[in-house]
C-alpha cells in the first residue's frame, strides 16, 4: 500500500527520474517510460532533455511523423556534421532530419562554423530562440567558413536569456561593431573566444563586455589584445588569456577583481611584467605559461613579485620558470614564497632542469598549508636528508618526474615518509623507471591493504580467462 501511495505522488516520481538523469541512466529512463502511462511524460522529459551528442541522431532514427513528439521535450540540440571519408565531404543529413521541427524547450544548441549560405540553407536561425541559454559554435575541419554578422545579429535580437557563448572557430568574418552590438544586447556569464580574433577584440568590444553585470568567466585566446578600457569588470571571477608581455598592464587594469587567472604570456621584451599581476590582490588561483621557446621566457627574478599575492591558494607555473644555481639563490626563493602562506596547491615545470634545493626548502618553510605539490624536473632526493623533517606536514599528494640520486628505493620511501608524514599519493607522470618503482614501493609501504586487494582482484580476473592450451577444438 505504501509503495502505491509513493508512486502516485508525481513530485516523488520526478525526483527519482531526475536522479536517474543526473546519473546518466538513459536506458533505465527509457524503461521507466514504458512501465505505465502515468510515468511516460515525466520519464521522457528527463530522458530527452539529456545534454548528450547523440540525442539529435536518436531523433533522426525515429519516423518523421513522431519526431515532433520527442522534439518538444529536447533541451539540447547538437547539429555538428560528421565527415564522410569516402566522399571527402560532410554529411549534412542531421540538418534535414530536424528541419521543420519545433523545439520549445531548447536551452543549448551547438553547430559547426558555417558560411552565410549554409546558415540560411540549414535554417539555423530557427534554433536561435528566446529560450536559449547556451550557444556553441565549433570548428569544422577542412572548412574555411567563418562566423558571420547574420548569426550575431540574430543572437542579439532574440537571445536575451543567454548565459554562455562559446566561439571555438579560428576565424571570423565580422567587424568589431558586430561583436560590440552583441554584448550590448545580451549579458552572458561565460564568454569564450578561440584564437585569431586579434583584429576584432577592440576597445568598443571590451567596453561592451565591461558593462555586462553577469560576466564571471572570460576566455580570450587572443595574443595581441592590448587596448585599455576605463570601465571595470566588477564581478569577474575567472579569466583566461593569451597576451604579449607588454599587454599585461592592461590585463591588471581591466580585471582587478578577478580571483582565478590563467595567462599565457609571450615575452615581447626584456621588461618585467609580473609585478603588474601581483597587483591583483584578490587572486586565489594563478596559472602562468610561456608557450614560446627559450628566447621568449620571462625573467626568472620577475617571479619574485608574486610574493605579494597573500591570498593565493593555487600557483601553477609552466614552461616559463628556469632558475639555475648561477642566477638564483636561496634568498630569491625565500623572497618569492615568503609572502604566500595560503598556498595549498603548487605546480612548477622545470623541464629537464634540476629542481633547485632552495625552492623546495622555501616552499616547506613558508607554505604550511600545502596539500599538493608537483615538481616536473630532476630531483636529487638525497638533498632531502639535509633538511629538517617534516618538510611538508600536511601534504597529501605529490607528483615528481625524476629522482636522480643513487639512494636505494627503500631509503627513498622511508625518507618520503619522514618529510611528508600525511602523504597518501605519490605519482610519476612520465616513464622514468626508477621513479615509477619508488612510487609503487611507496604505495605498498603506505597502503599495503589497498595494494593487496588490487592484486587479489587482478588474480581473480586472470583466473576467469580460459587457458587456451586446454581448449580442445
Helix (H, G, I), strand (E, B) or coil at 246: helix
pLDDT above 80 (res 456): no
Helix, strand, coil in percent for the chain, rounding step 5: 40, 20, 40
Cβ(156)–Cβ(124) under 8 Å? no
Collapsed DSSP state (helix, strand, coil) of residue 177 = helix
Q: Which residue has the higher pLDDT, 342 or 195?
A: 342
What does the DSSP assignment read for 318-386?
A: ESS----TTT--HHHHHHHHTT-TT--EEEEEEEEEEPPHHHHHHHHHH-TT--EEEEEEEE-GGGGGG
Residue 467 pLDDT: 43
Radius of gyration, alpha carbons of the chain: 28
258-291: pLDDT as tens digits: 899 998 888 777 788 898 898 888 899 999 987 6
Render pLDDT for 291-306 as a digit per residue (tens, 0 to 9): 655 556 788 888 999 9
- The strand pairing partners of 315, in sequence order, are 286, 346
Comparing 89-98, 130-139, 290-299, 304-313, the range with the smallest average pLDDT is 290-299
User: What is the average pLDDT value for the chain, to the nearest integer?
Assistant: 81
Per-residue pLDDT tens over the stretch 382-392: 777 777 778 89
User: Is the confidence at residue 39, as pLDDT, over 70?
Assistant: yes
Q: What is the mean pLDDT of residues 15-36?
A: 76
Q: Tell me which H or E stretch contains 313.
A: none
User: Alpha-carbon distance 444 to 198, whole Å?
Assistant: 53
- Which grid cell is 173? 568574418
Amino acid at each position: 500500500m505504501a509503495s502505491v501511495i509513493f508512486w502516485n505522488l508525481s513530485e516523488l516520481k520526478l525526483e527519482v527520474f531526475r536522479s536517474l538523469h543526473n546519473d546518466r541512466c538513459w536506458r533505465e529512463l527509457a524503461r521507466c517510460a514504458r512501465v505505465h502511462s502515468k510515468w511516460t511524460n515525466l520519464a521522457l522529459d528527463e530522458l530527452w532533455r539529456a545534454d548528450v551528442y547523440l540525442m539529435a541522431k536518436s531523433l533522426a532514427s525515429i519516423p518523421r511523423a513522431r519526431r515532433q513528439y520527442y522534439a518538444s521535450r529536447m533541451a539540447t540540440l547538437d547539429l555538428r556534421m560528421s565527415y564522410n571519408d569516402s566522399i571527402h565531404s560532410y554529411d549534412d543529413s542531421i540538418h534535414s532530419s530536424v528541419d521543420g521541427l519545433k523545439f520549445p524547450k531548447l536551452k543549448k544548441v551547438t553547430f559547426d562554423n558555417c558560411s552565410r549560405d549554409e546558415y540560411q540553407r540549414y535554417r539555423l536561425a530557427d534554433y536561435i530562440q528566446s529560450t536559449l541559454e547556451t550557444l556553441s559554435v565549433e570548428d569544422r575541419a577542412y572548412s574555411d567558413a567563418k562566423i558571420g554578422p547574420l548569426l550575431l545579429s540574430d543572437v542579439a535580437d532574440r537571445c536575451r536569456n543567454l548565459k554562455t557563448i562559446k566561439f571555438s572557430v579560428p576565424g571570423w568574418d565580422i567587424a568589431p561593431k558586430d561583436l560590440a552590438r552583441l554584448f550590448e544586447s545580451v549579458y552572458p556569464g561565460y564568454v569564450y573566444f578561440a584564437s585569431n580574433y586579434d583584429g576584432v577584440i577592440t576597445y568598443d568590444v571590451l567596453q561592451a563586455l565591461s558593462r555586462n553585470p553577469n560576466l564571471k568567466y572570460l576566455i580570450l585566446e587572443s595574443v595581441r589584445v592590448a587596448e585599455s578600457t576605463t570601465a571595470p569588470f566588477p564581478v569577474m571571477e575567472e579569466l583566461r588569456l593569451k597576451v604579449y608581455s607588454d599587454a599585461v598592464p592592461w590585463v591588471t587594469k581591466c580585471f582587478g577583481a578577478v580571483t582565478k587567472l590563467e595567462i599565457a604570456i609571450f615575452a615581447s621584451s626584456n621588461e618585467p611584467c609580473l609585478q603588474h599581476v601581483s597587483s591583483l590582490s584578490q587572486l586565489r588561483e594563478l596559472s602562468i605559461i610561456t608557450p614560446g621557446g627559450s628566447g621568449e621566457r620571462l625573467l626568472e627574478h620577475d617571479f619574485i613579485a608574486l610574493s605579494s599575492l597573500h591570498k593565493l591558494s593555487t600557483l601553477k607555473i609552466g614552461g616559463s620558470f628556469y632558475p639555475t644555481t648561477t642566477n638564483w639563490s636561496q634568498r630569491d626563493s625565500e623572497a618569492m614564497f615568503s609572502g604566500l602562506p595560503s598556498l595549498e596547491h603548487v605546480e612548477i615545470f622545470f623541464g629537464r632542469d634540476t629542481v633547485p634545493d632552495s625552492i623546495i626548502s622555501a616552499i616547506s618553510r613558508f607554505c604550511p598549508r600545502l596539500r599538493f605539490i608537483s615538481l616536473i624536473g630532476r630531483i636529487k632526493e638525497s638533498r632531502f636528508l639535509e633538511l629538517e623533517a617534516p618538510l611538508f606536514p600536511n601534504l597529501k599528494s605529490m607528483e615528481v618526474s625524476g629522482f636522480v640520486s643513487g639512494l636505494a628505493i627503500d631509503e627513498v620511501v622511508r625518507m618520503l615518509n619522514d618529510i611528508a608524514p600525511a602523504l597518501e599519493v605519490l605519482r610519476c607522470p612520465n616513464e622514468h623507471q626508477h621513479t615509477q618503482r619508488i612510487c609503487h614501493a611507496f604505495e605498498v609501504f603506505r597502503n599495503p591493504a589497498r595494494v593487496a586487494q588490487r592484486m587479489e582482484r587482478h588474480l581473480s580476473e586472470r583466473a576467469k580467462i580460459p587457458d587456451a592450451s586446454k581448449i580442445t577444438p
